[in-house]
Structure 1
Amino acid sequence: MSEPRSTVERSGLPHRLEAVGEALTSGSDVLEACAVAGGELARDGASVAEVVDALRVTWQELTGSDPGLDVVQTMLTAWSETTLGYLHQLSCEDPLTGLSSQAHLRSRLSELYRLGDAVRGPVVGAYALVVFGMRPGDDPVEAPVDHFTRAMRLARAGELARTAFARDETVARVGTHRVGILTRRDEHLGRRVQVLRTLLEGVEPGSPVRVWIEGLPGTDAGAAMLFDELARA
């Protein structure tokens, strides 16, 4: 037998908003519940209007008032990030920055692991991943959740990366504020990384940008774990 439903679930709140109602009535972290619900609604295919309507119905039902700006912002931020993540998986190009998508970079690397490199040998010795990050809070005009501003900065940084790595390298967005460059490992790699660092510091004066060479794991599964870690940081 199934367990009895909670009072909130029995009250007829919109789908995916039951946990938000529980948090609201119990005094627990309602913003965290909104973030989870926003992601779930995005995966369900709900539109922005449907998300806002469901949130308003929940608040009106339980408090008699409309939700605050911080609540709406948290819900829509989670919705947009989940939606963009889905779009990234469908496309070879990140829709906001014009860089290659993280999924495309992973696919390219997986192909190299499968085929190896007939000329240079194993992937680990033949290739490297150059990574740099634009710190989310180092621009005084950027709000903490201003995804558009952050994307434009990444797009600009990506163009500089293509200046330093102008051959057949894959330059891709990794997570919300990092760029990864899949490149051959040769005697010029260190110098090209230094050129990239100089170019990036030219557009971020007074804020040194961290650029590093990430060694590739021995297996494709290890590479997948590395990408997940880079994307979350």
Structure 2
Amino acid sequence: MNPFDVSYVDLDSAVRAGRVDAVDVAHEVGASAASLGVPLHEVLDRVERAFDGLEPSFAMVRGVAVAWAETSRALQLETSCEDPLTQLSTLAHLRHSLDGLYRGAIRDDSTVTDRHGLVVVELPRQAGQVLEQALHAVDVSVALRTAFPGDEVIAQLSPRRFCVLAERRRLDQPTLSLVTVLLRRTFESPPPRVWLELLPPVAQDVTWVLDALTG
């Protein structure tokens, strides 16, 4: 049996036995189904059958749906250049763009450090659900795209950190100030941090920079 079938059998057993971990098992059902590409409506039908005619609890349905949605989104980000919800580039796409810049610098006998940099935005620590974090990411995306309306790469580094890969001539103080003003319209207190992150001279060191920013 595949992981979805295994977790469903476990859910059926947990529901019939009234086990306290039934919601945790439901989470596994949703996640395994998404990883195999099983549509959500089919997953919910299976959950309903496990209750043998009774109405599934809200916690059970929510556990399945949230796990399915989170896993589906994570899988989509692994194979996509952009998050369809926030319109932000993925970390993989940012790395690919940086690789291209360093290859071009070698070809042109120039340095990436002199031509490009990263504007980094860090949101304050807040206790929030996945949906709330996604909405905050949308707000950051809108602000950064307003300040950088060109072909700059605007990416999400972590739930709280974002960056813009842009030419150094665009990373002047007026632009950074505009980013700060736009963000403070949504995030008032405490305000987000905004800073300029210089890129290393050689491509091998980019991994260290991104690891530090995503950590």
Structure 1 length-normalised TM: 0.65
Aligned pair count reads: 209
User: Does 2:39 match 1:47?
Assistant: yes
Aligned counterpart, 1:206:
189
1:102·1:172 contact (CA, 8 Å) conserved in 2?
Answer: yes
1:127-152 Cα shifts (integer Å, max 9, x gaps): 443332556857xxxx834x3x6545
Matches within 5 A, 1:143-222: 144-145=129-130, 147=131, 150-176=133-159, 178-185=161-168, 188-189=171-172, 192-214=175-197, 219=204, 222=207
1:113·1:219 contact (CA, 8 Å) conserved in 2?
Answer: no
User: Does 2:61 match 1:78?
Assistant: no
Amino-acid identity (%): 28
AA matched with 1:86: L
User: Does 2:29 match 1:37?
Assistant: yes
Q: CA deviation at 1:201?
A: 0.5
Residues 113 and 212 of structure 1, relative CA distance in 2, 3 Å threshold: same
Matched residues in 2 for 1:33 and 1:109: separation?
Answer: 41
Could you say which structure has the higher helix fraction?
Answer: 2
AA matched with 2:191: P
Aligned counterpart, 1:96:
85
Matched residues in 1 for 2:114 and 2:24: separation?
Answer: 43
Structure 2 length-normalised TM: 0.70
2:152·2:164 contact (CA, 8 Å) conserved in 1?
Answer: yes
AA matched with 1:55: V
Unaligned residue ranges in structure 2 (runs of 5+): none
Matched residues in 1 for 2:172 and 2:190: separation?
Answer: 23
